[in-house]
Amino acid sequence: MNEASPLGGLNRTFETGRTRPIEWRRAQLRGLQSMVAEQEESILKALAEDLGKPAQEGFAELAIVGGEVAHSLKHLRSRMKPRRVRTPMVGQPGRSWIQPEPVGTVLIIGAWNFPFQLLMAPLVTALSAGNCALLKPSELAPATAALIAELVPGYLDVEAVAVVQGGVEETTGLLRERFDHIVFTGSSHVGRIVMRAAAEHLTPVTLELGGKSPAVVDAGADLVSAARRIVWGKCLNAGQTCIAPDYVLVDTAHRDALVDEIGKVLGQWYGDDPDKVGDYARIINDRHYERLVSHLSEGRVAIGGGVDAGRRFIEPTVLVDVAPDSPVMTEEIFGPILPVITTESLGESLDFVARRDKPLAAYLFSRNTGSHNRFVERISAGSICINDTLMFMTVPDLPFGGIGPSGMGQYKGRAGFDRLSHLKAVMKRGRWPEVSIRFPPYNRIKMRLLRMLG
């Protein structure tokens, strides 16, 4: 490893034990808390520059990070405490416990769609667990990346938290180095690259990879509420959200009514020309814009369909009569295009979802408690939300992460703290009395006693 690398300095800081005490952890969390509060205006400006993100949507990023910090501060002492476990008779006299300890230096690779939140939320967890951290913001959100690099040294321990900017070359270089844990948010394609690189050093990874998150609308659901909440989840950040509803499954008899309600909501929120409304973000770059435009021909446009290449604008669009094997139904959309697929029953909808890759999130809209239970039991997903979208992110105690192709590991709440800690097993034995039945010479009496104790 190059001695000039930020990783070397971070590792040396960690080796001194400086990051372990609760006082240091609290100081870093409070520094991050101050940064969010004091730099709100500049952060919102950077998010608007990178993504055309409305101030209210940008503030949601800051609020989630601030909530994570406050929650971690409240529970930090209890999470750091040794966790006593029962010692069986065969281990007496003795005590046993689990001792959480920091893993070392964590590489956090952020994503461009929520370039502040998706870098800082894992940082909250890493600092809470007593680790050093190397932050790699997304180069596709350059204003936010530059601002983070400018702000972090003013609020956090510069010898324990560092920022590296750059693109593919810089990220590839970082992945060649030996970290103690890697947290990556992004595409499945890049996630595989990260995992292969981590395997060289047997480095554990936490991967948040997205996928196709379904929204199932049960027969008898409140269509007005479902339409409003699906549209909000889909149009936030112009659909560039890893947990946005990617497609809707609804029974044939209620499809047109649901689509009508979606149209009403869009009209109320954005009017006849969403391009002129300041409440709607833009597509991040030309490559993603062109990819999304190609999906518009893969079904019948029931609502929207307007585009403007110069402004990277795509109108909120609903597609119907979409083939289940079309690219828009097999690739993560990551944009404001919503296919609506018809089924004949809730069971058919559940089968449709279960046959596909496990999603990062799954949503059900239903008045029926039995349907709620059936959905939770049948559908395997990183997170599930019933009768809403995205809102589980506001609950600090709920872990966040994917399963299977949508990711692995979690970085929120107690689950995140444990993920970025080593849960060290400790046993302390008394010296007396000495139980000698485990020692040679062996005989049948000792064997009988061991069977009884075991």
Question: Phi/psi at 22 (nearest 5 deg)?
Answer: -65, -30
CA dist 405 and 253 (Å) reads: 33
Catalytic site includes residue 332: no
Contact between 114 and 241 under an 8 Å Cβ cutoff? The reply is: yes
Question: Phi/psi at 444 (nearest 5 deg)?
Answer: -65, -30
Of 208, 261, 315, 332, the active-site residue reads 208
Of 132, 235, 242, 385, the active-site residue reads 242
CA dist 149 and 147 (Å) reads: 5
CB contact burial 175-207 (16+ within 10 A = b; e otherwise): bebebbbbbbbbebebbebbeebbeeeebbbbb
C-alpha R_g of the chain: 25
Question: Phi/psi at 364 (nearest 5 deg)?
Answer: -130, 135
Instruction: Kindly give the residue spans of alpha helices, DSSP state H, lying in 395-443.
Output: 413-419
Catalytic site includes residue 242: yes
Angle at 297 between CA 292 and CA 299, to 5 degrees: 110
Closest by alpha carbon to 401, among 243, 271, 267? 243
Closest by alpha carbon to 149, among 116, 191, 196? 116
Contact between 191 and 184 under an 8 Å Cβ cutoff? The reply is: yes
Q: Where in the sequence numbering do the catalytic residues fall?
A: 208, 242
